[in-house]
């Protein structure tokens, strides 16, 4: 690579891009870890994007109509941190750059949403960012349909590397974006042919441009170090009428001894080689020292969008007060005032009519009354709409000619759906929920984990939540999935027992501002156990006394979901034998764990025999059985300890011993 030619042809551009390269080298060297090569290779693309195209205002980073910039190749975090620092984002100080990857800094190893303004999503797990971006672009389309182009009109730009494109989830994302002609999604592929183990060709020889084209994208191929070509490509990408992939041929670790090698991917810390690279760039200042004129040029880029932002604010002030209030409310993730009353009325109706319904069907009924009052909900399913019961009558279907549609046919793309839903939640203004079978949380899990880590309230509707799904068999019957979901920090797992608890769970999931929810719902019909109407959202406490013992309390049965009615039947039998039995419904362990000790003690007092009942593995239950004043010789569990089987649900519950009789026997054995 002839650096001198690049430098002399575009001196201003060169010094700005070099500032990114120099800061990256310095920060990685100071941390003695990190990834130098990717920011050094993509500095030219990023510089042109920020200088000429990205609509943003570094002084107003939350401007809702800003373009979104997503660094899918999150290991190149210093690219993003350099850009934010150079353009003048207030929180991204030089000290933060110096503290790259250190305890307490906002400059984590990989960009983390919430650490600093301008980090639109957490990336690092490859493939997530580009998949989030599809959700960002869909959100933009939906909100543009709702508010008009004057208020919502922005692009989503992504930098993705070979790793992102090799990950399976990227295929789901790319084909979705192509199908929906998301023309405001522009992806830069850092085509450097290098990964950690060596050249990409060690493991992959995909023709990426052909791959994108066959998915319905426009593709532009350029030299990723030529600022004119980059500028022209972005301009062209905006007029394609479909998503565009700009294949940028780049050199990883440009100008360093490790250029074009897999060594260049990682931390380049050798002092002599660094000095040599900087000399080649014509960069003469010391570590972390950006010349004042270069910093000033970057800061001018940082405020380039200020006028446009002010004009947007004027336009926003000119729309109706109601629209403004809705926009602000949904952006703040606040629920409408009507939600509480709507859920209460629904609960009353359910308690009074006491239907026998599957909780997936109850969920649909609840959504039928909630969706019309929450225009921010966006539903969907990964090709299981009729099974997940996620579609309600008023949503309309999101499509090329119906951008205001609020239901998304995600296709058989659980992972892509979950990641795109995260993108929608991150974009702001929408509350996505999407369904698949509980067993396939495995397919969505990397994105579910990131929702929890990012503190965003994505809702995962997971139906067919146990052997209760019956004949589809053990391939489809979750046994370990509740435990896995519950093991994830900052995740609420709701397993409602009936239509009333289902509505309460929805109210909590849709009111959450920082915690994703997993709604674990049944395929099979369940009797209503909450036959007495209570205004209070009982699920909010995580667990509560559903039926009190008559006479001396000798047994406490704790159950969730479909097993709450099993517990109620067991209680009836135990009471008949003169054994006072309390039933605790436990729809959400995490919320119960958050309650005061005094409330938990009231629900689970010391003394009585305790039996947990759940058609799933025991993992996670021992806190409630042995802990919380429980005793090993007075506790037992009725559930699954192996995979299920293919048979009618009723037969399975009998054969696996999840019955009222089994509970009664265990209780008597412990007394
Ligand atoms: C899901 C996932 N798997 C593995 C990794 C570890 N990893 C980080 S970067 C990388 C190689 C990525 O190659 P590429 O995207 O070409 O980046 P470049 O070498 O150009 O910096 C790998 C395997 C990861 N971050 N995420």
Tokens of 550: 């008559």
Give the residue whose CA is nearest to atom 12 of ligand 1. 163
CA–centroid distance, residue 192 to ligand 1 (Å)? 12
Q: Whose CA is nearest to atom 8 of ligand 1?
A: 75
- Testing ligand 1's pocket by substitution, the residue of 111, 195, 198 carrying the most ligand atoms inside 8 A of its CB is 195
Please work out whether the CB of residue 38 comes within 6 Å of at least one atom of ligand 1.
yes
CA of 546 to the centre of ligand 1 (A): 50
Judged on CB neighbours under 10 Å (0-12, 13-18, 19+), 308 is middle
- Indicate the burial class of 405 (C-beta count within 10 angstroms; 0-12, 13-18, 19 or more): middle
Closest CA to 378 of 438, 443, 440, 423: 423
For atom 19 of ligand 1, the residue with the nearest CA is 195
Residue 120, token pair as written in the block: 């639109």
Count CB neighbours of 536 within 10 A: 11
DSSP-assigned letter for residue 633: G
Closest among 149, 155, 151, 174 to 164, alpha carbons compared = 174
The finding on whether 263 has its CB within 6 A of some atom of ligand 1 is no
CA of 31 to the centre of ligand 1 (A): 19
Q: How many angstroms separate the Cα of 577 from the Cα of each of 19, 447, 581? A: 80, 49, 10
Which positions of the chain have pLDDT values less than 50? none
Testing ligand 1's pocket by substitution, the residue of 35, 126, 190, 265 carrying the most ligand atoms inside 8 A of its CB is: 126
In angstroms, what is the span from residue 163 Cα to ligand 1's centroid? 5
What pLDDT does residue 509 have? 99
Report which ligand 1 atom has the smallest distance to the Cα of 161. 15
Query: Residue 227: what pLDDT?
Result: 98
Tens digit of pLDDT for each residue in 451-472? 999 999 999 999 999 999 999 9
Q: Which of 60, 45, 51 is nearest to 159 (CA)?
A: 45
Separation between Cα atoms, residue 316 and residue 325, nearest integer Å: 11
Residue of 523, 463, 532, 460 lying closest to 500 (CA atoms):
532
Active-site residue list: 414
Q: Dihedrals φ, ψ of 25, to 5°?
A: -60, -45
| Spacing, Cα 174 to ligand 1 middle (Å) | 18
User: C-alpha distances in angstroms, 377 versus 161, 322, 380, 408, 430?
Assistant: 32, 18, 10, 11, 6
> Residue 162 Cα, ligand 1 centroid: separation in angstroms?
8
Alpha-carbon span 363 to 381, nearest angstrom: 14
3-state secondary structure of 526: strand
Its pTM surpasses 0.95: yes
Picking from 63, 66, 220, the residue whose alpha carbon sits closest to that of residue 155 is: 66
Structure tokens at 399: 């499509």
Using DSSP, state whether 443 is helix, strand or coil.
Answer: helix
pLDDT of residue 2: 86
Q: Which atom of ligand 1 is nearest to the CA of 165?
A: 15
Distance of CA 225 to CAs 12, 36, 163, 513, Å?
14, 17, 20, 42
With a CB cutoff of 8 Å and minimum separation 6, the contacts of 275 are none
Whether the Cβ atoms of residue 75 and residue 124 lie closer than 8 Å to each other: yes
Whether residue 195 has its Cβ less than 6 Å from ligand 1:
yes
**126 ligand 1 Cβ < 6 A:** yes
Nearest ligand 1 atom, CA 166: 15
Q: Determine if ligand 1 sits within 6 Å of the CB of residue 23.
A: no
Task: Please provide the DSSP assignment of 241-300 as one string.
Answer: SS-EEEEEE--TTTTSTTTTSGGGGS----HHHHHHHHHHHT--S-TT---HHHHHHHHH
Tens-place pLDDT, residues 392-444: 999 999 999 999 999 999 999 999 999 999 999 999 999 999 999 999 999 99
């Amino acid at each position: 690579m002839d650096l001198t030619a690049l430098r002399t042809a575009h001196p201003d551009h060169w010094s700005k891009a070099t500032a990114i390269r120099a800061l990256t080298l310095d920060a990685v060297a100071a941390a003695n870890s990190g990834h130098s090569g990717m920011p050094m290779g993509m500095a030219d693309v990023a510089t042109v994007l920020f200088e000429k195209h990205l609509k943003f205002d570094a002084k107003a980073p939350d401007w809702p109509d800003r373009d979104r910039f997503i660094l899918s190749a999150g290991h190149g975090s210093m690219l993003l941190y350099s850009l934010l620092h150079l353009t003048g984002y207030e929180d991204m100080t030089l000290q933060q750059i110096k503290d790259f990857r250190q305890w307490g800094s906002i400059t984590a190893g990989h960009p983390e949403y919430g650490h600093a303004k301008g980090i639109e999503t957490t990336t690092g797990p490859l493939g997530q960012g580009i998949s989030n971006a599809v959700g960002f672009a869909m959100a933009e389309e939906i909100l543009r349909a709702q508010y008009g182009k004057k208020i919502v009109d922005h692009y989503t730009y992504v930098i993705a590397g070979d790793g992102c494109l090799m990950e399976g989830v990227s295929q789901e994302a790319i084909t979705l974006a192509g199908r929906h002609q998301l023309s405001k999604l522009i992806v830069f592929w850092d085509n450097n042919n290098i990964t950690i183990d060596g050249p990409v060709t060690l493991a992959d020889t995909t023709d990426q441009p052909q791959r994108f084209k066959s998915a319905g994208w426009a593709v532009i191929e350029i030299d990723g170090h030529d600022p004119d070509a980059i500028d022209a490509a972005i301009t062209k990408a905006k007029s394609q009428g479909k998503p565009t992939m700009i294949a940028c041929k780049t050199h990883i670790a440009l100008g360093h001894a490790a250029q074009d090698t897999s060594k260049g991917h990682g931390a380049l810390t050798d002092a002599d080689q660094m000095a040599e690279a900087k000399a080649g760039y014509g960069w003469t200042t010391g570590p972390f020292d950006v010349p004042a004129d270069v910093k000033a040029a970057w800061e001018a880029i940082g405020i380039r969008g200020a006028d446009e932002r002010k004009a947007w604010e004027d336009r926003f002030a000119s729309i109706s007060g109601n629209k403004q209030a809705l926009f602000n409310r949904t952006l703040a993730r606040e629920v409408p005032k009507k939600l509480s009353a709507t859920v209460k009325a629904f609960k009353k109706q359910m308690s009074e009519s006491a239907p026998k319904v599957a909780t997936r069907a109850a969920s649909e009924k609840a959504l039928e009354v909630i969706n019309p009052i929450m225009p921010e909900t966006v539903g969907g399913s990964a090709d299981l709409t009729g099974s997940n019961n996620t579609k309600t009558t008023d949503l309309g279907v999101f499509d090329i000619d119906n951008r205001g549609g609020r239901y998304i046919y995600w296709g058989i793309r659980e992972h892509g759906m979950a990641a795109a839903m995260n993108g929608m939640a991150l974009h702001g203004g929408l509350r996505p929920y999407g369904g698949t079978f509980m067993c396939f949380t495995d397919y969505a899990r990397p994105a579910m984990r990131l929702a929890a880590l990012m503190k965003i309230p994505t809702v995962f509707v997971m139906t067919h939540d146990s052997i209760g799904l019956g004949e589809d068999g053990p391939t489809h019957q979750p046994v370990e999935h509740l435990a896995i979901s519950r093991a994830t920090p900052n995740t609420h797992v709701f397993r409602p027992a009936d239509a009333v608890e289902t509505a309460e769970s929805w109210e909590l999931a849709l009111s959450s501002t920082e915690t994703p929810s997993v709604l674990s719902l049944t395929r099979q019909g369940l009797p209503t156990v909450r036959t007495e109407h209570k205004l209070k959202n009982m699920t909010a406490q995580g667990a509560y006394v559903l039926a009190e013992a008559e006479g001396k309390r000798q047994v406490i049965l704790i159950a969730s979901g479909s097993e709450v009615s099993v517990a109620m039947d067991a209680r009836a039998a135990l009471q008949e034998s003169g054994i006072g039995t309390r039933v605790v419904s436990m729809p959400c362990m995490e919320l119960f764990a958050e309650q005061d000790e005094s409330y938990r003690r009231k629900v689970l007092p010391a003394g009585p025999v305790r039996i947990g009942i759940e058609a799933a593995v025991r993992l996670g239950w021992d806190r409630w059985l042995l802990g919380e004043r429980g005793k090993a010789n007075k506790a037992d569990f009725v559930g699954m300890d192996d995979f299920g089987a293919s048979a009618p649900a009723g037969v399975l519950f009998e054969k696996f011993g999840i019955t009222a009789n089994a509970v009664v026997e265990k209780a008597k054995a412990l007394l």
